[in-house]
Chains A and B, each alone.
Chain A
Amino acid sequence: MIRVAGTIGRWTLDLLAAGARVSVLIVDTVTWLVVAPLKGKGLRVRSTVEHFVEFGVRSMPIVGMICFLIGVIIALQSSYTLDKWGANRYIATLVAASAIRELAPLMTAILVAGRSGSAITAEIGTMKVGEEIDALEVMGLNPIKFLVVPKFLAMVLAVPCITVIAMFIMIFGGWVAGVLIVGVDSAIYIEESIKAMAEKDLVTGLTKSFFFGIVICWVGIYRGFQVEGGAEGVGRRTTSSVVTSIFLIIIVDLVFTVLFYYL
């Protein structure tokens, strides 16, 4: 009994400590992102652009590929049911609505977490192990300003951007399957797709993807700074970075879906 209480107590303390460390990270990031540039301490624009290219542009091929295939899959799967009622034209509606509201933001976030979230953790972790973070600090260069803010800014901008593209690729995938395989008339498909694209859905999807970007980046950075030991520590934290990211992405997705359900 005492042991159970002890375990719960220890978990609670660990959780609170982690919460405290995360809030310090968040406060520091926001300070260096918003307050410091206003005081004329500058923002590392070039580094931000480089990271934007890395997180956004370079992940486009894989995100595009996966989203196209998922579009094809949803179209064929929905035709399975809709065909029975001769309602194949609503494949378009289904694909468009699920792509925009849910699947494009979610798939993009999961792929970026696996691709760039892990890279952030590995980079910061390796720098920590190699005393590079200490070196920055000794030189009077703040690691948050130098390493974290450019990544953060690039990530929260890149994820919504590629999400928009992913949405259209997914709808295109649906079109390919719906028109070429199922045999829906192309004009009808496009008409139904446009009808299904509500402004509110787009806002919902993009709001989510913005927060997914924040989650991926902060988890990646937080796990990176947690690295201790050597190469083994980097590996372990990189794995947990991806797992935590995906878990939190789903939680954030749920929260926003519930929120928008009532709005």
Chain B
Amino acid sequence: MSKAEETVIEVEDLVVKYGERTVLDGISFKVRRGEIFVILGGSGSGKTTLIRNLVGLMQPYSGRIQVKGEDFTAMSDDEQIDLRKKIGMCFQGAALFNSMTVGDNVALPLREHTKLEEPTIEIMTKIKLELVGLSGFEDYLPSELSGGMKKRAGIARAMAMDPELIFYDEPSAGLDPIVAAGIDVLIREMQQTFDLTSVVVTHEMESVKLIADTVCVLEEGRVVGIGSLDDLERSEHPYIQQFFARRPDTEPSGDSAYARSLTGLD
């Protein structure tokens, strides 16, 4: 098997339920090593649930998830911790620890998981922050940073343990287009510099065009299309077409139809 074809994540027939409600229904896909795999879907399509399952924060109802050939569900606690050291994750709201400085946030995994000396950790923290364009911000508290800077700090923290695999949950959510584009460029740079397999959950078409190697489109818990951006643009599937064209669900024609759709009266 050539290096490019090596599978890092394999999801087979994943089903996730919240109580009686099925959120993800029979999801299957593979993520190849070194690619940027984008999970695209509207609000409520289950994409955040999917990423939470991939990193083992939630247990699936049925199906199998293999990360680097290992199954999260069939692991002891120690094995889970070992696997998690090789995984980075950036959360939607960055999820920095608000009581710690940015530097301590980035240094935390190093302090907890390695036996490195403090000066080494400090240097590594500096390097990681420089990587994301935040050098000199070690002593700031997260509350003193802007939204985009928080996201960058979150990426620095996710990169702290030099992971082989990184997950981004809505990296450009809540950011203006310029800052969001900056994050997209950063995601691409990280992937190219470190041969980092990246899984990005998003609903922003602009990001997808910029970073995606493979796109997986989710609609109401089902995969409706998977492939390169070109493949999907040629897809006949109504939801994919609608999503790519940014069309609303119903297009009421005329004032009376609009009023009817609002009031539900004839």
To the question of whether A and B form a pair in one complex, the answer is yes
A residues apposed to B, CB below 8 Å: 126-127, 130-132, 134-135, 137-142
Interface pair B97/A138, CB less than 8 Å apart: no
Interface pair A130/B98, CB less than 8 Å apart: yes
Interface pair B97/A132, CB less than 8 Å apart: yes
B97 partner residues in chain A, CB cutoff 8 A: 127, 132, 135
Interface string of B61-72 (1 = CB under 8 A from A): 000000000000
Interface pair A139/B109, CB less than 8 Å apart: yes
Q: Shortest 7 CB-CB distances between A and B: which pairs?
A: A140-B84, A131-B95, A140-B81, A135-B95, A138-B89, A131-B91, A139-B109
Interface positions of B from 133 to 166, Cβ below 8 Å from A: 161
Interface pair A131/B113, CB less than 8 Å apart: no
B residues apposed to A, CB below 8 Å: 52, 55-57, 77, 80-82, 84-85, 87, 89, 91-93, 95-98, 108-109, 112-113, 161
CA distance A142 to B82 in the complex (A): 13
Could you list 13 further interchain pairs (A-B, Cβ under 8 angstroms) beyond the known A132-B95, A138-B55, A139-B84?
A130-B93, A130-B98, A132-B98, A134-B52, A134-B57, A134-B91, A138-B56, A138-B57, A140-B82, A140-B109, A141-B108, A141-B109, A141-B112
* CB-based A-B contact count at 8 angstroms: 47
Selected A-B contacts with CB under 8 Å, 15 pairs: A126-B98, A130-B93, A130-B95, A131-B91, A131-B95, A132-B95, A132-B98, A138-B55, A138-B87, A139-B84, A139-B113, A140-B80, A140-B84, A141-B109, A141-B112
CA distance A126 to B109 in the complex (A): 21
CA distance A203 to B254 in the complex (A): 81
Interface pair B84/A131, CB less than 8 Å apart: no
- Contact pick for B92, options A126, A131, A141, CB 8 Å: A131
